[in-house]
C-alpha cells in the first residue's frame, strides 16, 4: 500500500484565512445580503444572511441637523468616519441622509475574533472533508486492486485446471488416439 498523505491545517493556512476574513470585514457594510457561497434553494435563489462588517449604515431624517446630531453622538461613543460617502435623498417626500461609520476599536476586535473563529472552523471542516475524500479514494483504489488481483488469480487457477484436465484427457485417450491414427494410416 502506498503512503497517502492527508492534509493538515498549518499556521500559514490559519493566518491566510484570518487575513482574508479581516480584509472582507474591514470593507464590508454590516447587514443582510446575498450569500454567494450559500446553496441555492429549489427556485435557484441564493440565501440571504447577516454579514458582520466594520462599517454600519446610519439613517437620519428629516434634516441635515439630525444627521449631524447622529454623527456627533456616534463619534463620542468611539465611532469613526469611513471612506464611504454620505448620501442624501428624498423618499416619499421626506429627506433621508445615510452616513457610514466605522465601529469603535473594541467592537472591531470583538467582531474579528468571532470571524477568525468562523474562518478557522470552516478551514478545518474543508480539510477534514478533503481528508475524508482522500481516504475514500484510497479505500476504493485498494478494493479495486484486490478485486483485480483476485480476478487474475482466479483466471490463473482456471487455466491451470483446464491444462490439468486436458492432460488427463490426453493421457486417458492417448491409447485410443494411437489406435485411431494407425487405423487411418497416420504416424
Q: pLDDT of 107-122, one tens digit each? A: 999 999 999 999 999 9
- CA dist 21 and 84 (Å) reads 20
CB 97 within 8 A of CB 61: yes
User: pLDDT of 18-37, one tens digit each?
Assistant: 999 999 999 899 988 888 88
- CA dist 43 and 40 (Å) reads 7
- CA dist 10 and 14 (Å) reads 6
CB-count exposure of residue 153 (10 Å: 0-12, 13-18, 19+): exposed
CB 119 within 8 A of CB 17: yes
- CA dist 170 and 185 (Å) reads 20
Q: Domain ranges for the chain, please list them.
A: 56-102
- Residue 91 is inside which H or E element, if any? strand 87-91
Residue 4: pLDDT band (50, 70, 90) is low
Instruction: Give me the pLDDT at residue 77, please.
Output: 93
User: Residue 59: CB partners within 8 Å, gap ≥ 6?
Assistant: 96, 97, 98
- CA dist 80 and 55 (Å) reads 9
Amino acid at each position: 500500500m502506498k503512503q497517502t498523505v492527508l492534509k493538515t491545517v498549518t499556521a500559514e493556512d490559519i493566518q491566510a484565512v484570518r487575513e482574508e476574513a479581516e480584509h472582507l470585514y474591514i470593507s464590508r457594510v454590516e447587514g443582510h445580503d446575498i450569500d454567494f457561497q450559500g446553496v441555492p434553494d429549489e427556485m435557484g435563489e441564493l440565501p440571504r444572511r447577516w454579514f458582520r462588517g466594520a462599517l454600519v449604515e446610519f439613517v437620519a431624517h428629516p434634516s441635515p441637523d439630525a444627521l449631524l446630531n447622529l454623527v456627533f453622538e456616534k463619534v463620542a461613543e468611539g465611532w469613526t468616519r469611513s471612506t464611504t460617502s454620505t448620501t442624501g435623498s428624498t423618499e416619499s417626500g421626506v429627506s433621508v441622509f445615510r452616513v457610514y461609520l466605522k465601529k469603535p476599536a473594541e467592537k472591531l476586535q470583538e467582531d474579528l475574533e468571532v470571524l477568525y473563529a468562523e474562518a478557522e472552523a470552516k478551514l478545518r471542516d474543508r480539510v477534514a472533508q478533503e481528508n475524508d475524500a482522500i481516504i475514500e479514494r484510497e479505500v476504493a483504489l485498494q478494493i479495486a486492486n484486490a478485486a483485480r488481483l483476485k480476478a487474475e488469480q482466479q483466471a490463473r487457477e482456471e487455466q491451470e485446471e483446464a491444462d490439468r484436465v486436458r492432460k488427463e484427457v490426453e493421457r486417458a485417450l492417448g491409447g485410443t488416439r494411437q489406435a485411431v491414427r494407425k487405423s487411418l494410416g497416420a504416424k
